[in-house]
Amino acid sequence: MEYIIEYYKKEQISQLRDYWLTLERGTEMTWFQTYAWHSMLVTEGCIPEDTNYCKFVYAVVKTVKNEIKLIAPFWIITKTFNFINKKGVYFIDSEGFSDYLNFVYDDFHKEMVIALMKDIKSTFGVSVYKLYQLRESSSTYHFLLENTSIKKNLADPCVNMVLPKSNEDYKGSLSKNTRQNLRTANNRLQKDGITLVFNHDNDNVDIDECCRIREERLRSRYSKVSKIRKMKHRLVNQLKYHLPRYLPLYICKEGHFLTAYHENELCAYFYYVRDEIHHQLLFLTAGTNSKYARYSAGMLCLYDFIHLLIDEKKLELIDFTRGDEQYKFYMGGKVSYNHKVDCVFK
């Protein structure tokens, strides 16, 4: 089949809306391939203006009948600059909060991507691809393995869990260690006279306080990094081309807060979105106030929430997204993998 390749700028994303809303329903798509997520990145200023070497485009693959079959949200660096900003094709939001990146499609056909890559090479002079956050199960990942020359392929863990049919099934699926941890946490709360109040959809959250808790956790991690790695990080940070920084807590209007409070103090929070199309719930970020860490406030809050979701019987899967933090496994999660693939299309 013959395909036509067209390129749209970020200001033109609304022109793709109707086709995008259809393609995002594909079984391999996630919340991060939705029009809502990508249009948010545009309207909230998360995608910068083009420069001499950086181009931000939505590459569209059409049939001769003018039907859009695939959308590729691409950040294209046409020339290596400052030593570390490497020439190549990246997915838009490769450095942001998109836990899963991909083309946007319903049915995947390798001929579409081959036609796209040929046109990218002809139009921009780039044949190197640095495609990150690719789900191991995706057709795109397997296409790259079979049709390009792989230069690097690194795996990063993600965690998700299929929701059991009943709360009894869920309780029975948890490890003995997890059940003991939950009992210990409740005993500590009772002994210290602390009562936690859970809110499954809190619309009155101090987002600045959530970010303070998040920053506290990040500082704790950074304090454990060696001096040499810190020096390297500072040097790289000076040379690196920085995309606009953002936190979904502030700009993602579709998000919800799951919270645990003691009196008026925030003990733990989770920020999540509900993907009704694919019957999933995805956690975008989370944090626990260090003052309440010994009470496992986040785990207790999450345990309560999971029981509610099981009773609702509307969702099929909870996705804890990137990272292999221990609490995700305690709550019943199973590991899967994202891949960072550097490859060349010849």
Where do the structural domains in the chain lie, given as residue ranges?
Answer: 3-156+340-344, 160-336
Residue 59 β-bridge partners:
7, 72
Do 3-156+340-344 and 160-336 come out as alike in CATH topology?
Answer: yes
Could you tell me where the DSSP H helices lie in 44-175?
A: 110-124, 139-147, 167-173
Token pair for 253: 């209007």
Q: What is the predicted pLDDT for the residue at 105?
A: 98
- Sign of the Cα torsion 149, 139, 31, 160 reads negative
Q: Is 164 exposed, middle or buried (0-12, 13-18, 19+ CB in 10 A)?
A: middle
Assign domain 160-336 to its CATH architecture: 3-Layer(aba) Sandwich (3.40)
Which residues, including other chains, have CB under 8 Å from residue 320's CB and lie 6 or more apart?
A: 158, 159, 160, 161, 283, 328, 331, 333
> How far is it, in rounded angstroms, from Cα 94 to Cα 54?
14
Length of the chain: 346
Res 221: pLDDT: 74
List the chain residues with pLDDT less than 70: 222
Can you give the pLDDT at residue 222?
66
pLDDT at position 335, please? 98
CATH code of the domain occupying 3-156+340-344: 3.40.630.30
pLDDT digits (tens, 9 = 90+) for 214-246: 888 878 776 778 888 888 888 878 889 989 999
pLDDT value of residue 115: 98
Task: Assess contact for 326 and 159: CB atoms under 8 A.
Answer: no
DSSP alpha helix (H) spans, 148-296? 167-173, 176-192, 207-222, 227-239, 248-251
Q: What is the pLDDT of residue 227?
A: 83
User: Distance from CA of residue 184 to its chain's centroid?
Assistant: 32
pLDDT of residue 232: 83
